[in-house]
Amino acid sequence: MLFAGFFIWHSVVYAQQQRFPRPEFEGGYTFPEHQFLNQRGPLWEYMDVAVLVLTLLATSWMVLKKRSRQGLIWISLFSLAYFGFYREGCICAVGSVQNMSLALFNADYAIPFSALLFFIIPLIAALLFGRVFCAGVCPLGAIQELTGFRQVRVPKSVEKVLASIPFVYLGLAVLFAATGSEFLICRFDPFVGIFRVNAPYTMIIFGSLLLIVGIFINRPYCRYLCPYGVLQNIFSRFSMKHVTVTPAECRNCRLCESGCPYDAILQSDPPASREIKRDTKKGSLPYLLLIPVLAAGFAVILYNTAPALSGVNGKVRLAREIRLEKEEGVKAVSKAAVAFFESGKTEDELFGEEQQIAARFRKGAPWVGIFLGLALGIGLFRLTVRKIRTDYEPDRGRCFSCAKCFKFCPVKIKD
Amino acid sequence: MEDQKNKSGSRREFVKTAGRLFLAAPVIALPVILSKKRDAKGFVWQIDPYKCTSCELCRTACVMTPSAVKCTNAFPMCGYCDFCPGFLRQGAKTYNTAAENQLCPTGAIVRKFVEEPYFEYTIEESLCDGCSKCVKACGDFGNGSLYLQIMHNLCVDCNYCAIARACPSDAVIRVPAGEPYMRKELKS
């Protein structure tokens, strides 16, 4: 096999030589020079960042100060047009998570400054004003916001289960990016195909299905898939300012209860039940102790799935294919295998690389497990230390600041 | 009761502030950590034609459909053959330029008569999908003047190129943005 590979490699290398002489034309033929076209200038990257900052500020102002859903829709339309259809969904903050991860864990990759800013600026905005990025700037959010015509409420239990998917998605996406295996989020971005008007047909179908579902169950991608939404969720919980359902004092009129399609309005506790709740407060200590147990448990589980996860990496897959051919005699026929035989690389080199990548997966996977365990554990713990509410207020983590609830509140302030 | 409420309220405030600082710290720190690294700015992806094994993965791996990789002809290297292995399919029953005899599945290679017995071959880039069938054939049987390049008017310049990850021969490399193409030149 090695010899065969060597010969093929030879034939490739010597293919570069001039087999047929360069013709000598008599009719005054001039050799055409191929004109290669260049990309757009680097100035545009800064333009993108400037537009991001401006739209974030505009959204915050529109939601927190003006309290105008109408204005928010205009901003969404602009973001969809600019970041979506004009910039074709690239660069986006959702995908920048992977650039970040790759840059942090790989010495030879340096993150472009614009990608770094696209990762950080929306998070700073979340710390200041809540999820304003989701509300009006993210093109993926905007396309769903603008197509969510009806509101069908999802049962709370289903919502909770589905809402845990993004955590897993984020964990895996960071792991795959950190090991240089795959940019999962970009690969399975449902709407980028619609923005670019070209994509594998499976992704077009997936994107269209999500949009159709989104007409009734609003923002399905944001709620049940978006990995960047997890970070936004966490950061927004600690935001300095956040959108409120009511512009002044809440009258507990219950009119906004059905106003939120995402079930992100936390209900006020009726005065009668406030005392009872205080008395029957569950013991929170066991749940606090459960957090490290869950983290450790998930770490063990993920550590054991690391070999399976490493199959996502192309080099690992190739090495497995070659090994299968060597040991079991199953012919390696994939394009990667054919190219490998032609490239003149030795099998030992390949297997060495496979070992390295597998080791990185074993190192990284437990951390993903710890993250998932912590998320689940803290989520459970939070249920036991629930604050007694006297007002209707948005759940800062899950609220997209979409301003849909404003019209349900009868309290108005006149300018 | 009121006292207890205040106590738990201030505890909550403390957790909030702590969390805010805890989250803000890495966000502020990240640019500092990462800006110390060499900036990747000013580099774009390109195929080294001398490393490329024309494995056909460029066609499918690129995030763009059709791929941003296109075939191009290095005219000074080209033999202007009448019987071009990149243009005509091997094993064709008859020897003419009918569609069934052409190698290119999209008919992207344009053949133009120059003078006896030479023909000029140019690539219609809007039709080419980077399948590299012609590149392989030209490399195996001809002068190897047909080669693949990432066209930067189409490339969206992903920070981690999908083709670079898929390329089994590591032929997709970062090149300076000032000189984004790797031309094949005639070797003397």
Residue A125 reports pLDDT greater than 90: yes
Q: Is the pTM of this model over 0.80?
A: yes
Binning pLDDT at 50, 70 and 90, where does residue A126 land? very high
Q: Do A31 and B75 touch (CB under 8 A)?
A: yes
Task: Report the pLDDT value the prediction gives residue B154, as an integer from 0 to 100.
Answer: 87
Lowest mean pLDDT: which of A201-205, B62-66, B128-132?
Answer: B62-66
Binning pLDDT at 50, 70 and 90, where does residue A144 land? very high
Task: Report the pLDDT value the prediction gives residue A15, as an integer from 0 to 100.
Answer: 45
B63 close to A (CB below 8 A) = yes
Task: Report the pLDDT value the prediction gives residue A304, as an integer from 0 to 100.
Answer: 96
Residue B86 reports pLDDT greater than 80: yes
Task: Report the pLDDT value the prediction gives residue A281, as an integer from 0 to 100.
Answer: 59
| Cα of A310 to nearest chain B Cα, Å | 14
Lowest mean pLDDT: which of A114-123, B120-129, B133-142, B176-185?
Answer: B176-185
What is the pLDDT of chain B when averaged over all its residues?
A: 85
Q: Do B160 and A183 touch (CB under 8 A)?
A: yes
Is A313 within 8 Å of A357 (Cβ atoms)?
A: yes
Mutate which: A7, A8, A12, A194, vs B, most B CBs within 10 A: A12
Contacts of A341 in chain B (CB under 8 A): none
Q: Which residue has the higher pLDDT, B125 or A412?
A: B125
B66 close to A (CB below 8 A) = yes
Nearest 10 degrees: Cα torsion A138, A143, A149, A154: -60
Site of tokens 């512009």: A247
DSSP secondary structure, A297-320, as one string: HHHHHHHHHHHHHGGGSHHHHHHH
DSSP secondary structure, A124-144, as one string: HHHHHHSSHIIIII-HHHHHH
* Averaged pLDDT, A146-168: 92
Three-state SS string over chain B comes to CHHHHHHHHHHHHHHHHHHHHHHHHHHHHHHHHHHCCCCCCCEEEEECCCCCCCCCHHHHHCCCCCCCEEEEECCCCCCCCCCCCCCECCCCCCCCCCHHHECCCCCCEEEEEEECCEEEEEECCCCCCCCCHHHHHHHHHCCCCEEEEECCCCCCCCCCCHHHHHCCCCCEEEEECCCCCCCCCCCC
Residue A208 reports pLDDT greater than 90: yes
Binning pLDDT at 50, 70 and 90, where does residue A242 land? very high
Residue B125 reports pLDDT greater than 80: yes
Lowest mean pLDDT: which of A3-7, A99-103, A273-277, B84-88?
Answer: A3-7
Residues 21-60 of B with CB under 8 A from A: 23-24, 27, 30-31, 33-35, 37-42, 44, 50, 53, 55-57
Closest alpha carbon within chain A to B161: A183
Q: Which residue has the higher pLDDT, A7 or A61?
A: A61
Residue A121 reports pLDDT greater than 90: yes
CA distance readout (Å), B77 to A325, B130, B139, B142, B157? 39, 20, 11, 10, 29
Closest alpha carbon within chain B to A337: B168
| Cα of B34 to nearest chain A Cα, Å | 7
* Averaged pLDDT, A177-190: 88
Contacts of B8 in chain A (CB under 8 A): 387
Q: Do B55 and A338 touch (CB under 8 A)?
A: yes
Residue A30 reports pLDDT greater than 90: no
CA distance readout (Å), B31 to A116, A176, A337, B35? 7, 22, 40, 6
